[in-house]
Structure 1
Amino acid sequence: MRKRSFVSKSQKYHFPSTTFQMAEEQEIRRHVVLTKPYSLEDEKDSEHTAANVIRRILSLLKNVRPGSDLTNFQLPPQLNLPKSQLQCYGEMIYSFGGHDLLGECSRRDLPIERLKSVVAWNISKLRPVLFGQAPYNPVLGETHHVSSGHINVLIEQVSHHPPVSALQATHEEENIDVMWVQHFIPKFRGAYVELEVKGKRVMKLQSRKETYDMNQPRLVIRLVPVPRADWAGKMKIKCPETDLEAELHLVSDSFIERFRGNNNRAVKGKISESSSGSKLYDIFGNWDRTISAKNLKTGEVEVLYNANESISGLKPPTVKNLKEVMESESAMVWSEVSEGILNKDWERAREAKKAVEEKQRKSLKQREVSGESWVPQHFSVVKNGKDWDCTPLQPTVPRAPLVITEAHEDIMN
């Protein structure tokens, strides 16, 4: 079995052959399709009106009972974004404006300032969601590997039923590690669809010897009175080494505000000492505008986060070296489907999507016949009941053949 290796500083990072690796004699076109991340300005430019989208969605859901598990529900290409869910996860970390919020988490000298930076970085991961369109469900073994500035991100789909994704990101300059393992549990509630995020998210500031545990809010897709999708619920960030924690509540709009079509993506929260419960800061604002923090001792108010600076004008990755792109790369696995969607060639997109899914079913049957179990290539996976835990097999993520250019020249220079 041949192995392809990438060199990253002092270590070699091996990518063993997977079910996606093609025989050398096959003359199959290697290409990737990369699209721009969805950002603030795109909400105003959507070509899909709410009325048309809701009509199509209701026609698809008319035979679905309330409370049904929608994990395995298959969308037609007309309701797909031209990208995989793994790419959407990665964009939360590697796609941002000119300011490196992740690196800032370790640059601050005081523990309270570092926690405020972690809060700002967490809020930056809340991205607008395009109502009526969803990314592809990743196939087993699918990966997404991108570099942006000093940040390297690698994601792998480690389970298909249920769909579980593992993510590792490293910041080379500031020695920061980020680890996620998560999966959505979608439920149809009649008037809305709720997607609860299960799993864990951990950030380690190695130079500071600090660990930050955090969670992700729910995604609520409302059908009435005005179709829209937004984040809701509670976010909590805790660092045992500094005895500090933050709690953020994403406040839902009132019925009247939703009916008027207003976007009130409010955030209210606090920063406290974990052991005493003493509140140090009030946090308030809107995650799609600005978030501020008020020092309860001095009364001073500061802006922690500006959405316009962080999640506007986002750029897609570009291909730095096509030969080094893994066959399991999301943008390659789904390239034919994405091209069909972008060209509005729905028949081509439908057939290409069917081919990807059929290939996955065939691989599953082959493993069942041979008695083999799927083993992730980049993570060690442990399942305990309904909970999942993943550990990266390598301490750091190497530089990727897909890169974000131009956006962070001010950081790199």
Structure 2
Amino acid sequence: MVSKENEDEHEAVLTAPLALEGGLAAEYRQPNVLQQVFGLFRGIRPGTDLTNFQLPPLFNMPKSQLQCYGEAVYCIGEDYLKKCARGKNKFDRFTSVVAWCISSARPLIFGLTPFNPILGETHHVSRGTLNVFVEQISHHPPVSALHATDTEENIEFIACQNPRPKFYGTGVEAVIHGKRQLKLLNFNESYEMESPNLLIKILPFPSSDWTGNVSIRCKDSGLEANVSFGESRSFFGLRGNPRSVKGKIVNSKTSKTIYEIDGQWDRVVELKDTKSGKGRVLYDAKLGITKLKTPSVKDPKGLWATESAVVWAEVSQAILKNDWGKAKEAKKNIEERERRLRRERNSRGEAWVSKHFRVATTKEGDWDCWPIERLVPPAPIAVSP
């Protein structure tokens, strides 16, 4: 389902989220891009940084990367985020945070990637009392800042995402730099976690998977989890399970393992109590990320010109119609406008400054961000709980 809203000032195109069943993959029938994928990377040397690599629209899904980041928070079947705030004790809350972290891993579509957001682009969506706001705070390198608040559950989530893709001959790996911080304010608990990395394999078998180790830490409760996404495979891809999730939850002071984690992020992940030997379902992907609802515009007058669904509306609509000439021209116009604005700022000696986040970088090139406002307001775009 495509939600298209017409307004004198702005037009927004919203498409189905990435989901395990249904969603964008089912509703958008992409052209056969496998041969084009091989041709696209022909001549690119292994080790090449693809941060500034420009893709033709044929390889784009009809949505921005900001929307994908936001969907991982506001598009959900069973609400694992609310479970985090409703846990009876620190163990219930911590295991719920681990389950919620796993739920942010969404199925990918091989050969398609979202639009690289323009500088200052925003995405603002509400789901019930949860309000989510994302802003592109840097274009080169691409860095996105996310702030979400839920006043009913007293939850705050802050994330800074900086993907760094490189080509390695047989595929592309995007290492996702930046920390994510979830605060359960009723309990004065703060949880820090990383994101899994994205691995796109071209040879020997085409695939798109999440990989790498994710650490989840809560100094307030003294608990820590180490979760590994995807088992290692041989060169020919004949061993291992690319969608596996394995890990453990430990007491950070004693390093004693309390729970063991095992399963698949696209199926069921189980939690085993090491003391009693009893197990239970920690996360069920069928409940969490299937048949997700598409957001819609509730307040057309509230849409900003910087909203992702507005910025990329013409390109998205052309992609959905397989009108590649129009999609290419519309995307080119956006990119040329951004280059012109950058030249104008440079000529005036001005640096672009985020309107919604304070931003800092380290000597190592890592990024961090803090929201300027304490709460995210209700959005003009909403998705039904």
> 1:258 Cα deviation (Å)?
4.2
Partner of 1:69: 49
Partner of 2:252: 274
- Structure 1 counterpart of 2:163, which letter? F
Alignment of 1:57-96 (within 5 A): 57-96=37-76
Partner of 1:169: 148
> 1:372 Cα deviation (Å)?
1.2
Residue 195 of structure 2 is aligned with which of 198, 216, 222? 216
> 1:40 Cα deviation (Å)?
0.9
- Structure 1 counterpart of 2:68, which letter? C
The answer to whether the aligner puts 1:251 opposite 2:200 as a matched pair is: no
Query: C-alpha offsets along residues 300-336 of structure 1, whole Å, 9 cap, x if unaligned?
Result: 1110110011100011110001110111000000000
Partner of 1:354: 332
Residue 371 of structure 2 is aligned with which of 392, 406, 409? 392
- Give the share of equivalent positions with the same residue, in percent: 47
TM-score w.r.t. structure 1 length? 0.88
CA distance in 1, matches of 2:302, 2:132: 15
The answer to whether the aligner puts 1:139 opposite 2:129 as a matched pair is: no
Tell me, which stretches of 5 or more residues in structure 2 are unaligned? 1-6
Asked whether the 8 Å contact 2:196–2:210 carries over to 1, the reply is yes
Residue 214 of structure 2 is aligned with which of 224, 235, 239? 235
Partner of 1:18: none
1:258–1:41 CA distance, 2 compared to 1 (3 A): farther
> 1:42 Cα deviation (Å)?
4.6
CA distance in 2, matches of 1:41, 1:136: 23
- Structure 2 counterpart of 1:100, which letter? D
What SS class does the counterpart of residue 144 from structure 1 fall into?
strand
> 1:53 Cα deviation (Å)?
2.7
Residue 311 of structure 1 is aligned with which of 271, 286, 289? 289
- Structure 2 counterpart of 1:112, which letter? F
Partner of 1:159: 138
What SS class does the counterpart of residue 207 from structure 1 fall into?
helix
Asked whether the 8 Å contact 1:144–1:156 carries over to 2, the reply is yes
Alignment of 1:8-19 (within 5 A): none
Partner of 2:108: 129
Asked whether the 8 Å contact 1:181–1:388 carries over to 2, the reply is yes
Partner of 2:179: 200
The answer to whether the aligner puts 1:37 opposite 2:17 as a matched pair is: yes
1:67–1:264 CA distance, 2 compared to 1 (3 A): closer
CA distance in 1, matches of 2:87, 2:8: 49
CA distance in 1, matches of 2:242, 2:112: 21
Asked whether the 8 Å contact 2:231–2:241 carries over to 1, the reply is no
Query: C-alpha offsets along residues 48-91 of structure 1, whole Å, 9 cap, x if unaligned?
Result: 58xx4331112111121110110111111111000000000000
CA distance in 2, matches of 1:387, 1:74: 23
RMSD (CA atoms)? 1.8
CA distance in 2, matches of 1:382, 1:266: 35
Q: Compare 102-111 and 245-254 and name the one that shifted more.
A: 245-254
Partner of 2:168: 189
What SS class does the counterpart of residue 179 from structure 2 fall into?
strand
CA distance in 1, matches of 2:8, 2:177: 37
Partner of 2:4: none
CA distance in 2, matches of 1:203, 1:30: 33
Tell me, which stretches of 5 or more residues in structure 1 are unaligned? 1-26, 409-413
